[in-house]
Amino acid sequence: MTMTTTTTTTTTTAATTPAAAAAAAIVVGLAGADDLAWANARYADIDFLPSKAADLIAIARVDGVAAGLGRVVAVADGEGELGGMYVLDGFKGLGLARRIIAFLRDNSGCHTLYCLPFAELAALYQSMGFAPVANDTAVPAAVAAKHRWCNSHYGKPVLLLRRGKPTHPHHSHHSHPPHLPQPG
């Protein structure tokens, strides 16, 4: 099943020329198997961890050109880590990150999403319902470990945010979302 959302936008920003800011068709959809190499090449460009075929990956296209991406990785039953948000140069200022986040949030099937954004992106994620988590012992071990790794690896602060109902210590009886395999 292919899921996409299409919007038309008119935006004028410093990141675009007036001609490029004219109405652009923006489509966000699930990445296909043939998109994984492209996604991982983009992640390598910015020193992000690569995606796996089991991840739920979304790609935003502007007038048919791949312009941004993000993903949800299963971390526990009904819980995922939303991340890998990246908008390519030349496409910033069009609201692509917000559209990718919304698409993944709405299509992951997860009742709880964790997110590890750089601190300067806090307002974006908080405007979309994510809230700070004060103690990383209240999250799945994989998320806590990645949060610690990110803060030791990148030269700027990485936050720990959550959207939804936490179920830690993972006694959830919810079935795993249809798009994300059970972590193993």
Residue range 136-155, pLDDT digits in tens: 788 999 999 999 999 999 99
Residues, the chain: 184
Q: What pLDDT does 41 receive?
A: 97
Q: What pLDDT does 138 receive?
A: 82
Of the candidate ranges 7-16, 21-30, 34-43, 125-134, the one whose mean pLDDT is the lowest: 7-16
Residue 10's alpha-carbon distances to 26, 54, 60, 63, 130, in angstroms, are 11, 35, 16, 13, 27
Q: What pLDDT does 178 receive?
A: 45
Mean pLDDT, residues 115-138 taken together: 93
115/108 Cα distance (integer angstroms): 13
82/101 Cα distance (integer angstroms): 8
Given phi > 0 = left and psi -120 to 50 = alpha, else beta, which region is 152? alpha
- Which superfamily is assigned to 4-164 in CATH? Gcn5-related N-acetyltransferase (GNAT) (3.40.630.30)
Report the percentage of the chain scoring pLDDT > 90. 73
* Amino acid present at 74: A
Q: What is the pLDDT of the chain when averaged over all its residues?
A: 83
